[in-house]
Structure 1
Amino acid sequence: VLIDLSFLNTLPKRDLSAGMAEVIKCGFITDYRILNLAQDDDLDYQQLIARSIKVKADVVSKDFKESKLREILNYGHTLGHAIEKNSGYKLRHGEAVSIGMVFAAELSKQLAGLSDDAVLLHRELLRSFDLPISYPGNKFKSLLTLLASDKKVKNSKLRFIGISKIGKPVWFDDVSPSTLSKVYERIAK
């Protein structure tokens, strides 16, 4: 992988922030050090990007055919993809994933006992990059329809990736619409 950090200087702030959502995701699923680096006043983009690439490379090398482990790279993406499409692609991919990660954290709190502090870290860290962390409450029904067509639907069961604690991914299969609705209320604006 060849990275030229000078290209970051050409990006609008919104695009740079959207990219940081994917970096932060890597921190939540496997590498807590990324979260520490992302909270520094003087961001070390070289370290952030290198560590994120390592996370992805390590996961993909262990699950080249995307049988299960590789799905952790979709943390925040299940709802994120639905939001992205629902917004008519007005939201950047990373912005939609940001909202999706907060939803995944809230779902993880509900189903796997993720701590309040970890949920709060999602909200505060993503907001520190001016990323959205909520979505209109009246959009839930249309999002539910979009979720049904997600690539992570297996045998008519929708799979979400969550975390039981930072760095410990978990899989939620066949989450009921009522649970999804209850959790969605926590991110609705």
Structure 2
Amino acid sequence: MQMIVHLGENSYPITIEEGAIHHIQDTIDTHRKIAIIADDKVPDQWVNIVADQCENAFVLRFPAGEGSKCFTQFEALLEQLADQEMTRKDAIIAIGGGVTGDLSGFVAASYMRGIDFYNIPTTVLSQVDSSVGGKVAIDMGSYKNIVGAFWQPKAVIIDPDVLTTLSSRQVNNGLVEALKTGLIQDPVLVDLFEKETLDLPQIITRSIDVKRKVVEADEKEAGLRKILNFGHTIGHAIESAYGLDTYLHGECVAMGMLFFIEDKALKDRVLKIYDRLDLPKVPDYSIDQLMHYIAHDKKSNRNSVTVVKVKSAGSYILEDLSFDQIRSRLERGPYEE
């Protein structure tokens, strides 16, 4: 199936289809120079399938992991594009997870003030969330996504078949973002996590449809799009405090959501889903350390931060909380009401 993200001149299609990676020409003009960017853990089979369909492509690999979302790697990729004499008429195709999409997208947004960018996400996390919306960025030290831009892709190709090469931990990590989406906008999506068998294609499709509608209503996070940050305020702080590689992004978002689920019955439902997904428990944390990262988060104001609260599945409340109120939540802990 295909959806369209309606953003005027920045509109683009999202293709969700098994086997879509084998016919990228349906949505990508491959008759030009194309830089295919992937981390070194993306299986060669996916990269080669894409490269073989391009008339003039070259592949750029970088070390997998959040640590590559840095100025050094950003600069290295830009230099390689220049060495290949890429022009404004050429394009970048990102193949990989959220790190690849964020980094490649920011490179595309910056090179010659912006060239075409296509995203082929190969993880559940990137398929259900980060591949759509145009938020591209790198980290600065331990501060996540603090340097970046809004740069919409020209198309997104989501092929559930590529998920077969993922570990179960990576699959479950990505499913957290889908669960998040259901908790704030789609109760049916939450119900899908309680079925005997998880229907990945349906979960991906429903998640992306919610993300698409939110981005259409608020492309640059002036209002509604803030709801997609549910779980991220404290989740990002945990991710930063533990060195970005101890826990996966979705695992940290799962931890962060617990602090802002306001109904005991719903929190019990969510915790059962967490057990099913084999997610880690919230570690012992330093409140002062987490508050340090929260205060420096790009979503924070001078003395407060906008958080998302959920009292029932499919609904949300946006509320500005002072840092003292956030501290109180951390003091109370994630498992208390």
TM range (shorter): 0.7 to 0.9
2:318 to 151, 166, 171: 171
| Aligned residues of 1:28 and 1:167 also touching (Cα < 8 A) | yes
Matched, 1:57 2:212: yes
Q: Note the C-alpha offset of 1:122.
A: 2.0
1:96 to 252, 255, 259: 252
Structure 1 residue identity aligned to 2:289? S
Q: Note the C-alpha offset of 1:76.
A: 0.4
More helix by percentage? 1
The RMSD of aligned alpha carbons is: 1.7
2:268 to 120, 132, 136: 120
More strand by percentage? 2
Q: Note the C-alpha offset of 1:184.
A: 4.5
Match of 1:112 in 2: none
Secondary structure in 2 matching 1:174: strand
Match of 1:74 in 2: 229
| Aligned residues of 2:182 and 2:188 also touching (Cα < 8 A) | yes
Structure 2 residue identity aligned to 1:158? V
CA distance in 2, matches of 1:176, 1:164: 22
CA 1:78/1:182 → structure 2, altered by over 3 Å: closer, same or farther?
Answer: closer
Q: Note the C-alpha offset of 1:176.
A: 4.7
Secondary structure in 1 matching 2:311: strand
| Aligned residues of 1:140 and 1:181 also touching (Cα < 8 A) | no
Name whichever of 37-46 and 165-174 sits farther off. Answer: 165-174
Aligned residues: 179
| Aligned residues of 1:127 and 1:133 also touching (Cα < 8 A) | no
Secondary structure in 2 matching 1:48: helix
CA distance in 1, matches of 2:325, 2:258: 18
Q: Note the C-alpha offset of 1:162.
A: 1.2
CA distance in 2, matches of 1:152, 1:179: 14
Name whichever of 156-165 and 66-75 sits farther off. Answer: 156-165
CA distance in 1, matches of 2:240, 2:330: 20
Secondary structure in 1 matching 2:319: strand
Ranges in structure 1 where 5+ consecutive residues have no aligned partner = 110-114
CA 1:56/1:184 → structure 2, altered by over 3 Å: closer, same or farther?
Answer: farther
Q: Note the C-alpha offset of 1:43.
A: 1.1
CA 1:59/1:22 → structure 2, altered by over 3 Å: closer, same or farther?
Answer: same
| Aligned residues of 2:287 and 2:327 also touching (Cα < 8 A) | no
Q: Note the C-alpha offset of 1:133.
A: 4.0
Q: Note the C-alpha offset of 1:53.
A: 0.2
Match of 1:3 in 2: 158
Identity %: 33
Structure 1 residue identity aligned to 2:256? G
CA 1:178/1:62 → structure 2, altered by over 3 Å: closer, same or farther?
Answer: closer
2:301 to 132, 151, 154: 154
Runs of 4+ in 1 over 2 A off after TM superposition: 174-188
CA distance in 1, matches of 2:176, 2:249: 9
CA 1:10/1:120 → structure 2, altered by over 3 Å: closer, same or farther?
Answer: same
Match of 2:48 in 1: none
CA distance in 2, matches of 1:120, 1:184: 20
When normalised by structure 1's length, the TM-score is 0.87
Name whichever of 32-41 and 153-162 sits farther off. Answer: 153-162
| Aligned residues of 1:23 and 1:52 also touching (Cα < 8 A) | yes
Secondary structure in 1 matching 2:228: helix
Ranges in structure 2 where 5+ consecutive residues have no aligned partner = 1-13, 15-156
Structure 2 residue identity aligned to 1:103? F
| Aligned residues of 1:75 and 1:161 also touching (Cα < 8 A) | yes
Match of 2:169 in 1: 14
Match of 1:35 in 2: 190
Structure 1 residue identity aligned to 2:318? W
